[in-house]
Chains A and B, each alone.
Chain A
Amino acid sequence: MSATVVHTSAPAHHHYTALGLDSRKVAIWAFIGSECMLFVSLISTYLIYKGRSVIGPLPHEAWTDPTTGQVFKPILNIPVTSASTFVLLMSSLFMVLALAAVQNKELPKRTRGERILGSSKLWLWMTAIAGTTFLGFQAYEFTSFVHEGLSIRRNLFGSTFFTLTGFHGAHVTAGVLWLVTLLAIDYRRGLTSKDSLLVDISALYWHFVDVIWIVIFTLVYLIK
């Protein structure tokens, strides 16, 4: 009886599992696990159809249209994608610095360096800007592909490539919007160390988007 009283009097805003873990963090990890399945299914589809396109443009090889004689160059632009990969990797660094800044919000900041490292707004802004830059690279890549003759309906490579990278881009977009909401909270009332779980959950999502790109970059862009 007394045990029931203890549990029903628990505050409504705390959600703890029997293991003492916050259920929101358990939920984000379960969500990330399910997202792994989603992206592996998309990557599997890409790999299954890799090299089975009947017509070009192709990712790593030039292709000549036998009817028109038009030559299509290899379509993937490795230098541009390498730059966007670097930007996304750096965004993960910025995100983890944002989380550290929120977790250590109450610690005194004596030096200029400590004030910079302790600014959650700065690192959240940097992460959001890096994410938006990555999306800009992706928009440039998609546009140039369409201009070079590769659309989602052109061949098997186009269908699987745009679906996979498009889904990833949609996840990055959702991450940027999430970061903007955190920034809005930070400007409105200021994020404190008590809010670190909020930032931690969004950081986990952001890093997951980064690790998925690590796999896509290797499997789609680098392996011929």
Chain B
Amino acid sequence: MDTHASMTNLPDSAEAQLHAPTGEVEHAHPTWSTYWKVALILTLITVGEVWAYYLPSFVASRGFVPTLLALSALKFAIVVMFYMHLKYDHRLFRVLFTGPLFIAALTLIALMFLFGHLVIKVM
């Protein structure tokens, strides 16, 4: 009864289902049309970012940096979720990616405070 050998001809998703301990299986990946729509959204966000860069009044406002950071984070999340399939893949991959990313982001923020680029104002 060689259970491992019997699985060798199965596609990865089927094999993942057989090994999955608690229903933690890969879902179907997005279709071609989803990929095209994602590319269009990414392009539109990039155009919006560059357009904002050329608006002097907006660049001088307090909303410029947070807006650009939010748009960049949105693009990052879209690529990771849809193109890297993290939305559809096993939870372990999410942990492997977001764990180091979270630590790295915290380190970056800590360094910004340490070197005086970010300051908490106490009234």
Residues of A within 8 A of B (CB): 2, 6-7, 9-11, 14, 16, 19-22, 25-26, 29-30, 32-34, 36-37, 40-41, 43-44, 47-48, 50, 78, 82, 85-86, 89-90, 92-93, 95-97, 100, 103, 117, 193-194, 196-197, 203-204, 207-208, 210-211, 214-215, 217-219, 222-224
B35 contacts A33, CB within 8 Å? no
Distance in angstroms between the alpha carbons of A224 and B61 in the assembled complex: 12
Task: Provide the bound-state CA to CA distance between A26 and B16, in Å.
Answer: 13
B112 touching A40 by the CB < 8 A rule? no
B96 lies within 8 A of A89 (CB): no
With A29-B97, A89-B46 given, can you name 19 additional A-B contacts, CB distance below 8 Å?
A: A7-B4, A9-B5, A26-B93, A29-B93, A32-B97, A33-B100, A36-B101, A47-B112, A48-B111, A78-B53, A82-B50, A117-B32, A197-B12, A204-B84, A207-B84, A214-B79, A222-B50, A222-B68, A223-B68
Please name all residues of chain A whose beta carbon is closer than 8 Å to the beta carbon of B90 when the two chains form the complex.
19, 21
**A37 to chain B: which residues have CB within 8 Å?**
100, 103-104
- Inter-chain contact B107/A210, CB cutoff 8 Å: no
Task: List A contacts of B71 (CB < 8 A).
Answer: 218
Contacts of A16 in B (CB 8 A): 15, 19
Closest CB pairs A-B (n = 6) = A20-B19, A40-B104, A33-B100, A218-B72, A10-B4, A29-B96
CA of A29 to CA of B36, assembled, Å:
25
Hey, which bits of chain B sit against chain A, CB under 8 A?
1-5, 8, 11-12, 15-16, 18-21, 24, 29, 32, 35-36, 38-39, 42-43, 46, 49-50, 52-53, 59, 64-65, 68-69, 71-72, 75-76, 79-80, 83-84, 90, 92-93, 96-97, 99-101, 103-105, 107-108, 111-112, 115, 117
Residues from chain B with Cβ under 8 Å of A36 in the complex: 97, 100-101, 104
Task: State in angstroms the CA–CA spacing of A38 and B119 once bound together.
Answer: 25
Contacts of B69 in A (CB 8 A): 218, 223
Complex contacts, B59 vs chain A, CB 8 Å: 224
Min CB distance B18 to A, Å, is 7
CB–CB B39/A89 < 8 A: yes
B39 contact set on A, CB distance < 8 A: 89-90, 92-93
Cβ contact within 8 Å between A21 and B16: yes
> In the complex, A214 Cα to B115 Cα: how many Å?
24
B104 touches A20 (CB 8 A): no
